[in-house]
Structure 1
Amino acid sequence: MMNVATSSLPTVAPGTARTGRSLAALGMVPFVLFALIFLLVPTGLLLVSAFFDRDGAFTFANIVELFTNSAILSSFWLSIRISMASAVGGAIIGFFIAYAIILGGLPGWMRGIVMTFSGVASNFAGVPLAFAFMASLGRVGLVTVLLRDGAGFNLYGTGFNLLSFWGLTLVYLYFQIPLMVLVIAPALDGLKREWREANSVLGGTNFHYWVHIALPILLPSLLGATLLLFANAFGAVATAYALTGSSMPIITILLYAQIKGDVLNNPNLGYAMALGMVAITGLGTGAYIWLRSYSERWVK
């Protein structure tokens, strides 16, 4: 009986299997070409160009200047601080928003609205976003004037300034928070109801569930999402440039000035600065991989 049942199963000819694998490999060609043209080749050219001067001579001067030029060092540090502040703030606020619409018992229709808005807002950046904040929270912006004339509250009298560290961080949060909602929502959906039920059966409270079950499981996703937000803010240039011009010399603006500027035009130094940005992003990715493996071992 077993032999009859087995023999009745359809068989796949070796040639057909090879054809299927060939077609699957063919489907990867556009991705490989895209990664090669827009990622690997530019990164390779960046790495090579950082070690040459304007005359085409090999030099380490551009790399050395990354560690000796005070303007470059301060720009890197400013970008790191803004990226970290917006990443941590976006991760915390975005997590609680995602929790509210997925596990918080809110009406189901709210999830669709929030997720749709998050998909739009996470890609709303550059000049339109800068103009929107200037029109609303600038010194003569709509919200600023309404608070001053309607509520007697002078926003700028408190020391707030949109063209400052916290002002730029606030602008970045506009697209960081919805990005966090989109990234962490699938992880929250992955929390099984059986885990909470088992915690209750064993006498655990909601606090025990989150501390000993949910948060350890979500930790890799939370770390990865936060690092993603950091990289997203660290590479942003259009929003900051349109909002602050050169008054907030983050590294991307200084890099742009080195490559395309009329005064600081030194493309090879700009390539070295871009290489430094790649190194920082790579360190963040490596930290995420290490923390994720550590968290997974701890959960097991």
Structure 2
Amino acid sequence: MAALCLLPFALVFFAFQIAPLLWVAVNSLQTADGWSLANFTRILESRFYRQAISHSLQVSFWSSLFGLLIALLGSYSLHRVDSRLRDFVNAFATMTSNFAGVPLAFAFIILLGFNGALTLLLRQIGWIEDFNLYSKTGLIVIYTYFQIPLGVLLLYPAFDALREDWRESAALLGASTWRYWCHIGLPVLTPALVGTFVILLANALGAYATVYALTTGNFNIVPIRIAALVAGDINLDPWLASALAMLLVGLMALITLVHQWLLRRSYHAAR
């Protein structure tokens, strides 16, 4: 009976998750000459596509790291403030976690573009000189912005695992705040931190609308290359696009396996 109740979910999951993935995997092995690994070989031998993979990994890694650190501090602060302010910030984070894509790109262009309001103000003060929103650094800034609310939503519940009497006991035994976080706080939060980082990384690796609206497709990252190969008028090659997509799937699978390995090590160390 329980299996029958899960059947609708299994059908929807297969139709919208497994079947598209299988279709992309099959198409990644197709070429004009038949079945082969030529698409993957072409990607790995091309400096252009290797650069796209490198840019995607760099932007995703640094934006996820910065977003995680800021979300960690924000989530901890939420546990120390009044409940009304906490509820407001949680509601605001829920709203801004969906503020991405084209509206976010236009908002940053108005604020931090070459003639943006904040850019002109900071340049007049002397804090910045040659900041370029449309560069890799600019993309890291804008990606970090939409990573922070998602990180807060994911990390905030994890702080419920930290009991206040642990801090008090550590203080009574002479442990400093630094030693408490190194030996108690951070080890308890490690699974949540690693899991959140993996989700933020996946969120950044697949982002398309924001970078496309910001750079009109001129910045070389994997989602832009996939879209150009699928919908482009000059370089139309859906088989190569499928191979690029499978490389992203492989990267995320590898990161997830590392995540699971770290969780197992953390669990065994805790025991």
TM-score range, shorter-chain basis?
Answer: over 0.9
Counterpart pick for 1:191 among 162, 182, 195: 162
Q: Which amino acid aligns with 1:113?
A: F
Residue 297 in 1 paired to residue 258 in 2?
A: no
Corresponding residue for residue 13 of structure 1: none
Does the Cα contact within 8 Å between 1:144 and 1:154 map onto a contact in 2?
A: no
TM-superposed deviation, 1:119: 0.8
- 1:266-285 equivalences under 5 Å are 266-285=237-256
Counterpart pick for 1:239 among 207, 210, 214: 210
TM-superposed deviation, 1:147: 4.2
- Specify every segment of 5 or more residues in structure 1 that has no aligned partner in the other structure, as ranges: 1-21
Identity of aligned residues (%): 37
Query: Structure 1 residues 158 and 27 mapped into 2: Cα distance closer, same or farther (>3 Å)?
Result: farther
TM score, norm. by length of structure 2: 0.94
Does the Cα contact within 8 Å between 2:75 and 2:155 map onto a contact in 1?
A: yes
Corresponding residue for residue 71 of structure 2: 94
Corresponding residue for residue 116 of structure 2: 141
Counterpart pick for 2:81 among 90, 93, 106: 106
Residue 34 in 1 paired to residue 12 in 2?
A: yes
Paired with 1:207 and 1:143, the residues of 2 have a C-alpha distance of: 36
Does the Cα contact within 8 Å between 1:121 and 1:174 map onto a contact in 2?
A: no
Instruction: State the number of aligned residues.
Output: 271
- Specify every segment of 5 or more residues in structure 2 that has no aligned partner in the other structure, as ranges: none
Corresponding residue for residue 195 of structure 2: 224
Q: Give the stretch that moved more between structures: 113-122 or 137-146.
A: 137-146
Does the Cα contact within 8 Å between 2:52 and 2:222 map onto a contact in 1?
A: yes
Residue 63 in 1 paired to residue 12 in 2?
A: no
Paired with 1:172 and 1:264, the residues of 2 have a C-alpha distance of: 28
Corresponding residue for residue 9 of structure 1: none
Paired with 1:207 and 1:117, the residues of 2 have a C-alpha distance of: 31
Counterpart pick for 1:121 among 96, 108, 112: 96
Counterpart pick for 2:135 among 156, 164, 170: 164
Does the Cα contact within 8 Å between 1:54 and 1:266 map onto a contact in 2?
A: no
Superposed CA offset, 1:191-212 (max 9, x none): 1223223323433232222111
Q: What SS does structure 1 have at the residue aligned with 2:183? A: helix
Residue 215 in 1 paired to residue 215 in 2?
A: no
TM-superposed deviation, 1:54: 4.0
Q: What SS does structure 1 have at the residue aligned with 2:71? A: helix
Corresponding residue for residue 153 of structure 1: 125
Superposed CA offset, 1:274-300 (max 9, x none): 000000010110110011111122222
Higher-Rg member (1/2): 1
TM-superposed deviation, 1:53: 1.4
